[in-house]
Amino acid sequence: MIPGLLEKIFDKIIAKGNEFSGIKKGLFFWDVRLAENTEIDQKRGLKHKITDTFIFKKWRAVFGGNIKFLVSGSAPLQDRLIKIFSAAGLPIYEGYGMTESSGVISLNGYKKGETRLKTAGKPIPGLEVKIASDGENLIKGKNILKGYYKNDVKTTEAIKDGFFHTGDIGEICKDCFLTITDRKKEIFKSSGGKYIAPSIIENKMKQSSFIEQNTVIGEGYKMPAALIQINYEFVKDWALKNKHIITDVTSDEKLIVTIQQDIDLYNEGLGKWERIKKFEITPDEWTIEAGHLTTTLKLKRKIIKEKYKALFSEIYTD
């Protein structure tokens, strides 16, 4: 399952919770906070049993009631969602793979100690994984392609000394858990010479209920910035509850200040050179049909940057 779909499901669940009132609403969000603060291997106590009885069994029903676990791939999933869904009896195991590897390269496991947040798990048996001097993830094994059909040039570029060059930047810790930082071609350098991995920052920012999609920009500039597509459904509910009328989401001062407050919170976990100080809200929704996203809901960065080049110029006019 791709992260974008899980995020949309979670947003729908939270939207439903916001429709409640009084004690029922308080209990719902108490349960969510409890789940968010529950570690993956933490023993479940009485509080968890209560939340499961009143709330989380209904969450499982959304998935049909028979799901034992979910596997997430294609892009990083927010840690908080993994913890929340896992506490709700819907454990999520992040993995990493690609077509050239016949599917799976690494996967977090269901046994205690076999899952670690912020990682794509351990490489599957029979697959050799190593990190090149520039940080690129290299793989070798019987499940790796022998070459691209009728494309010797691409094959020679991708396979060297028996190892397939994935194009992903990664790290392997001493316990053999693999972490994927970003696509090699998407990491950029600021004017100060600092490398910036946009997907790490984007994933943090998507924790905000106000942000549906965002892309980090700023190659060759002093500091990164962001183009943001708001979560229209959440913003509509927020405006109604605050009796606030929004005529233009791209310039509404109260909305912008509130989003910046969320971003400031997520900036705390980033290096000074990675922090988002400026952003612009795009006037439309990012969709597959309009060309913003791939069919797996990944960002088409070049297209997004081209579509909103006027906003890009506003950010970096200074």
Q: Are 29 and 252 in contact (CB under 8 A)?
A: no
What are 233-277's pLDDT values in tens digits?
A: 999 999 999 999 999 999 999 999 999 999 999 999 899 999 999
Please return the burial class of 206, using the count of CB atoms within 10 Å of its CB with bins 0-12, 13-18 and 19+: buried
Residue with tokens 């869904």: 85
| Residue 96 in this model has a pLDDT that exceeds 90 | yes
Rounded average pLDDT over 144-172: 94
Mean pLDDT of the chain: 92
Q: Are 171 and 131 in contact (CB under 8 A)?
A: yes
Rounded average pLDDT over 177-193: 91
**Cα–Cα distance list, 45 to 34, 87, 92, 124, 285 (Å):** 11, 11, 20, 33, 42
Residue 60 phi, psi dihedral angles, 5° rounding: -65, -30
Q: What is the torsional sign of CA 238, 240, 244, 250?
A: positive
What are 119-137's pLDDT values in tens digits?
A: 999 999 999 999 999 999 9
181 pLDDT band (50/70/90 cuts)?
A: confident
| Residue 318 in this model has a pLDDT that exceeds 80 | no
Rounded average pLDDT over 154-174: 93
Residues 6 or more apart whose CB falls under 8 angstroms from that of 96 comprise 73, 104, 105, 106, 107, 120, 121, 168, 178, 180
| Residue 284 in this model has a pLDDT that exceeds 90 | yes
Domains of the chain: 3-90 (no CATH), 99-107+117-183 (2.30.38.10), 188-315 (3.30.300.30)
The token pair at 5 is: 């779909």
What are 23-69's pLDDT values in tens digits?
A: 889 989 999 999 999 998 888 888 888 888 888 998 999 889 899 99
**What totals of helices (H) and strands (E) does the chain contain, helices first?**
11, 14
Q: Are 252 and 228 in contact (CB under 8 A)?
A: no
Strands (E) across 185-246 are located at 188-189, 195-196, 211-217, 225-230
Residue 194 phi, psi dihedral angles, 5° rounding: -90, 135
Q: Are 226 and 214 in contact (CB under 8 A)?
A: yes
Rounded average pLDDT over 158-171: 94
- In this structure, the number of other CB atoms found within 10 A of the CB of residue 287 comes to 12
296 pLDDT band (50/70/90 cuts)?
A: confident
